[in-house]
Structures are given as C-alpha cells and as structure tokens.
Amino acid sequence: MTTGRNGERALLAEDWQLAAFTGAAAAPESLPEDQAEALLLSRPEKNIPPDLARPHLDRILADLPALDGPFADLARRRGEAILDAHRRVRKAVRLTGVTQRIEPKLPADILGVYVYLPAE
C-alpha cells in the first residue's frame, strides 16, 4: 500500500522464494537458502516406482496445512525485505511524502513439492 499526496493506492507485487524444510511438518526445520538451492541442483541416484513414491507425497500433501505458519513467516520476512529495498530507493532519490506498507496475501501459494529420500 502506498500513501502519498493523491491518497492511498494498493499495488500488487509478486515474489517467489525457495523454501526447504526437513523433519516432520508439525515441527519443521527450515534449511538455509544455500542448502535448499543445493537440493535443486542435486542429481537423483535413481527414481522410485510411483507406487512407492505416492505414499510419501500423499503424507506431505496432507501435512501441508501444518506449514502455513512457517510459510506465513517467510512471506512476512520477504515483504519486509522488499519494503526495505523500496525505502532505500526512495531515500536515494530523495523522494518524500510517500509511505509504503506491505501486507502478504496469505496463505502463500505453493508452486511445487519435492520429496527427497535417502539412497539405499
């Protein structure tokens, strides 16, 4: 939301963020960004048959609502980082009389779910 001389205007900005968790969905442990990126770059040793993969994926999808809190926290942190960047730009160009605030639109959209299993 931007407030200036002409009143308040709602603007929409989309952002995406890679998030990786380990452990149970009820007590997820967030992985650092570099470890999450490393997972995306990793190569599977082999694929498992769909009938063995499906229960793992079904369990994760069923537990996904338990991650709403961590995803909301991530959305708020990203929003604050974006807001800080906007404020730095406005300060650098000496733009005054304008204020902004960011409100994440929750729940966050989940664009993909990957399940990594240890090699046997």
pLDDT digits (tens, 9 = 90+) for 1-54: 667 777 887 877 788 999 999 988 888 899 999 999 999 999 888 888 999 889
Domain for residue 111, yes or no?
no
Please give the tally of structural domains in the chain: 1
Domain for residue 30, yes or no?
yes
Give the domain range for residue 33: 2-100
The model's confidence at residue 69, banded by pLDDT at 50, 70 and 90, is very high
Domain for residue 110, yes or no?
no
- H helices of 64-100, in order, are 68-92
21 touches 33 (CB < 8 A): no
| Mean pLDDT, rounded, for 64-91 | 91
Q: What pTM value is reported for the model?
A: 0.76
Q: Which residues of 74-97 are buried (b: 16+ CB within 10 A; e: fewer)?
A: bbeebbeeeeeeeeeeeeeeeeee
H or E stretch at 61: helix 50-63
Domain for residue 38, yes or no?
yes
Length of the chain in terms of residues written? 120
Domain for residue 106, yes or no?
no
Domain for residue 108, yes or no?
no
